[in-house]
């Protein structure tokens, strides 16, 4: 049952990806011309048309939602499932992880299609080059996730390490590229992006804090409920009174012998 559900999710992901890539885009040549005209021969920035500005903002929104929110949330959900002891909670968190990552990949694919169809793509800047490499690894990650080996198989540990490492690398690189994209938008439009940069940093800081809190949450809850005796080392509780009685007994015996003498 679980394998068939995994296959259904895989085919749903592939179908959504194909529909997104094959969707027609109106006015792509006009948008490309407008973006090409945003810089004159002297390199000075010119005002873009409202349509191109809207497409740039939509491209940024797709990637912010994907790399800057859904992918970190998916990592947090996977971390929570590894800490959970309830079988039902693990299944719910796992499917939430899968859904969030599929949505993240589809949004990023939409942003990529919007960029490739409507913008000038000379790949002369770091934002475009990093984005191109990022898309390839991003599409590889769900394939690795869907074809994971069963528990107990020897290659499961290697698969887990590769899936975890690639996921962290994609998320971190994507977030970095969002920052680079905001800077590129500022260069092309001369509009300030300090507010959006600050909001992105604040949101990511909250997600990072929550991720780190997962490891210590259960321990902090035990601090308020466990008796003090349970928090002390077991060896000290057992050995300290016995050692003290022996020392007091030896001291008393020495004093008695001294008095008798």
Model-wide pTM > 0.75 = no
Q: What is the share, in percent, of the chain residues with pLDDT greater than 70?
A: 67
Q: Which of 65, 143, 179, 180 has its CA nearest to residue 111?
A: 65
The arithmetic mean of pLDDT across residues 50-69, rounded, is 90
Q: Architecture of domain 48-218 in CATH? A: Up-down Bundle (1.20)
Q: What does the block give as tokens for 13?
A: 């992901």
Q: What does the block give as tokens for 2?
A: 């679980």
Q: What does the block give as tokens for 134?
A: 């990022």
Task: Decide if pLDDT at 35 tops 60.
Answer: no
Please state, in angstroms and rounded to a whole number, the distance separating the CA atoms of residues 17 and 102.
10
Contact 145, 98 (CB under 8 A): yes
Q: Looking at per-residue confidence, does 237 or 192 come out higher? A: 192
Mean pLDDT computed over every residue of the chain? 76
Tens of pLDDT along 104-143? Answer: 999 999 998 888 887 776 777 788 888 888 988 998 888 8
pLDDT number for residue 30:
43
What residues form DSSP beta bridges with 45? 39
């Amino acid at each position: 049952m679980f394998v068939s559900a995994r296959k259904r999710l895989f085919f749903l992901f592939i179908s959504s990806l194909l529909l997104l890539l094959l969707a027609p885009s109106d006015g792509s040549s006009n948008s490309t011309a407008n973006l090409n005209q945003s810089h004159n021969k002297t390199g000075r920035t010119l005002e873009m048309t409202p349509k191109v500005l809207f497409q740039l903002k939509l491209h940024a929104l797709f990637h912010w939602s994907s790399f800057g929110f859904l992918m970190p949330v998916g990592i947090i959900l996977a971390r929570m499932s590894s800490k959970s002891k309830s079988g039902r909670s693990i299944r719910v968190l796992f499917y939430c992880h899968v859904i969030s990552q599929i949505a993240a990949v589809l949004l990023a694919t939409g942003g990529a299609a919007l960029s490739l169809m409507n913008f000038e793509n000379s790949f002369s800047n770091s934002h475009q080059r990093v984005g191109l490499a990022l898309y390839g690894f991003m599409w590889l990650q769900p394939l690795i996730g869907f074809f994971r080996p069963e528990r107990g198989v020897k290659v499961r540990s290697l698969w887990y390490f590769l899936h975890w490492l690639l996921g962290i690398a994609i998320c971190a690189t994507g977030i970095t590229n969002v920052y680079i994209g905001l800077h590129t938008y500022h260069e092309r439009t001369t509009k300030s992006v300090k507010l959006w940069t600050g909001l992105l940093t604040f949101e990511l800081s909250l997600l990072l804090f929550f991720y780190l809190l997962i490891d210590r949450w259960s321990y902090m809850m035990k601090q308020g409920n466990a008796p003090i005796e349970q928090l002390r080392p077991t060896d000290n509780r057992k050995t300290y009174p016995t050692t003290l009685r022996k020392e007091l007994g030896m001291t008393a015996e020495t004093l008695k012998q001294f008095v008798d003498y």
